[in-house]
Amino acid sequence: MKLKIRHLTRYRYASPLRAAVQTLCLTPSSSPAQQVHEWCLDVSGRLQPLTDAWGNRSHLMHIDAGVREMRCEASGLVETQGTPWHVDETGPDPRVYLATSSLAAPDAAMRRDLAAAGLGAARDEAGLMALVRHVAGHVAYRPGETDARTTAAQAWQGRGGVCQDQAHALVAACRALGMPARYVSGYFHAVGSERLASHAWAEVCLAPEGRRWFGVDITHACPVDERHVRLAVGPDYAACSPIRGVRSGGGREHLLVELEIVALSA
């Protein structure tokens, strides 16, 4: 499936900025699961490309003093292949993702619930999907109950959240069971909801010796397929959010986001 993507983020400030630096995880990489045919970042600052600690293609955006608007538009064409498998040859050893992180750490309650359900480490896709169904049953999709700082343990206790919270809960559950797991940010094409395309899911390493990761979308209870475009990975959202950074000055901030993903005809 060929997907045309446009993602605009604009920050407007009540007073001039003194300085700002933003990290952009908005550049997808080609892999057996997706081919990036075109991609462009159009920003209001100076870009410095880099590869981060997790193997993502990232950029630092530097904003000079005196401006009252920061703008970033990512756009391009990506062809997806519909496979959930991803071999990561550039990222860290998969065992790094056994360690807990601030937003995706299993707590005692989660460990007790997983033990009571008789769930152990998954050795294949069927076992992993059983775990996905259990976590999805415990953390239902309910918008408006959480925010970007909500942890997996809090979502587990509250029994609800959005895709970010469900992905964190699955990653934490996998780590509790001794399975390397990581958070994925990306885009999702849903017919009729083209402007609600930002999404999050998880990847679980079922074959650490081959660095083979299996992508699973807990929100839709399915393996990653041709509707998914993978942007970046990390231990949790804080490590690979599309835009994050710091600023000095500016006063009150107004954020505008426009996002559209459209499937092109063959």
All domains of the chain, ordered by start, with CATH?
Answer: 2-82+242-263 (2.60.40.2250), 85-236 (3.10.620.30)
Could you report the per-residue pLDDT of 47-87, keeping only the tens digit for each?
999 999 999 999 999 998 999 999 999 999 999 999 999 89
pLDDT of residue 194: 53
The mean pLDDT value for 151-166 works out to 96
- Which pLDDT value is given to residue 232? 97
Q: Please, which pLDDT band fits residue 19 given cuts at 50, 70 and 90?
A: very high
- Burial state string for 198-212 with b = 16 or more CB within 10 A and e = fewer than 16: bbbbbbbbbeeeebe
| Its pTM surpasses 0.85 | yes
